[in-house]
A and B are shown apart, each in its own frame.
Chain A
Amino acid sequence: MTNPLQRIGKVALEASRGLGHNATFFVDVLRNLPAALRRPYLVIAQVHAIGNLSLLIIMASGLAVGFVLALQSYYALVTYGASESLGLLVNLSLVRELGPVVTALLFAGRAGTSLTAEIGLMKAGEQLAAMEMMAIDPKSRVLAPRFIGGILAMPVLAVLFSAVGIMGAYVVAVKLIGVDAGNFWSIMQNGVDVWRDVGNGILKSIVFGVICTFVAVYQGYEAQATPEGVAHATTRTVVISSLSVLAMDFVLTALMFTHH
């Protein structure tokens, strides 16, 4: 294996094999979605585990981000005499970019790792193999409900992040700094378009939900059935989800927000 050309070839082949395996796994999970929808309680339980239990960190982070955005934007805008546009700046930053992206990163860290660890430990404890012995496809009973749960929970969390952020920015801007409340809301309302800004943000969060949940579920299912394997898979989930979300964010922003 000292031949560098051989090594490059090996890495490239491994990468494309991994990509292909990801793709076939994705199609497999999609194929099992109808079966999962026929057991709505499984999906609901997953929305609770993924969404409800992430509410605290998402809303707390949203509030903090809103506070900080308001402060920083104020000091940036006041040099140009544009401090009345504070609300607009904070709203657009949150709804277009920070809401979907930061929520996705937090989601990958909190819900993604819990999904991967749960599925990895099921594999390590041979529960998945036991299900296969009973002719139950683990993809339909275990993976698909979690996949749907993640896709349903993500947009809700992103919207809540943005909404709480805006409210936090209002508190800092109007109550603490002293920006005019009427101007804060009216300049914001004039400048933010529901379909182009809020709608595109929600679309982004749905795409990020698919990415994060799929990566979490895949890494859990393909984890090595040992404690180290599960730990390794958990870190891989966070790293791969985060990088994919950031790359996808650039692509989606270029598609959605460049003026035609």
Chain B
Amino acid sequence: MGKKGIESLVGFFVLLGIAGLLFLALKAANLGSFTASSDTYSLTAKFDNIGGLKVRAPVRSAGVTVGRVASITLDPKTFQGVVRLDMQRSVQFPSDSSARILTSGLLGDQYVGLEAGAEEKALVAGDVIKQTQSAVVLESLISQFLFNKAADAGSAVPTPAPASGGKK
């Protein structure tokens, strides 16, 4: 096999490798759904507790993914979590929309859920979502449940009979 033959075979080999890499990246991983920076606009939302939210978690409204979490930082003045969202340009939300941190399924990954408000004006790039609800922290739920249970038990028990020593 001559020089040209070998070179074209090696070229084919490299092309095959690139095709395999593209297949893995686009079809088998999450690169394909990654929105390019040109057709997104960013919004900010502040939460008291972001729970287990991670960067690149989806932003969903009515269950449909409309964006991704771009970054999560801590505001040093108010000590709230500042979450920057990359929203798809095709979707606009009213300015009184609210953001909550929800969990997909029972124990799945957390995502940001957006509920549209009723205002005429829409949120533009750089706006802050005013109404937010933090993630549910399991420990607070459990302690709240136990506290309520204890309160119920305390009010249900009748006052105890006076001690027998009081009887004459």
Contact = CB atoms under 8 A, between A and B. Distances in A.
Interface of A: 41, 44-45, 47-48, 51-52, 55, 91, 95, 153, 155-157, 159-160, 162-164, 166, 185, 188-190, 192-194, 197-198, 202
Interface stretch (B22-30, B95-103, B156-164): B22-30
Interface of B: 3, 6-7, 9-10, 12-14, 16-17, 19-21, 23-25, 27-33, 56
B14 A192 contact: no
Contact of B17 (A44, A45, A160, A185): A160
A160 B20 contact: yes
Contacts of B9: 48, 52
Classify the interface of chain B: helix, strand, loop or mixed.
helix
Nearest to B5: A48
From B3, B13, B25, B27, residue with most partner A Cβ within 10 Å: B13
A152 to B, nearest CB: 8
Contacts of B29: 91, 188-189, 192-194, 197-198
23 contacts: A41-B3, A44-B7, A44-B10, A45-B6, A47-B10, A52-B13, A95-B24, A95-B28, A156-B14, A159-B21, A160-B20, A162-B24, A163-B20, A163-B21, A163-B23, A163-B24, A188-B28, A189-B27, A193-B30, A197-B29, A198-B21, A198-B29, A202-B21
A190 B30 contact: yes
Contacts of B30: 189-190, 192-194
Contact of A159 (B24, B27, B31): B24
B7 A194 contact: no
A164 to B, nearest CB: 8
B6 A192 contact: no
Contacts, number: 79
Contacts of B24: 95, 159, 162-163, 166, 198
B10 A52 contact: yes
B60 to A, nearest CB: 12
Nearest to A59: B16
Contact of B27 (A47, A55, A185): A185
Nearest to A159: B20
Contacts of B16: 55, 156, 160
A69 to B, nearest CB: 14
Given A189-B27, A189-B29, 17 more contacts: A44-B6, A45-B6, A47-B10, A48-B9, A48-B10, A51-B13, A52-B12, A159-B17, A159-B20, A163-B20, A163-B21, A164-B20, A166-B23, A166-B24, A188-B29, A194-B29, A194-B31
Contacts of A157: 17
Contacts of B6: 44-45, 48
Contacts of A153: 13
A202 B21 CA distance: 10
Contacts of A193: 29-30, 56
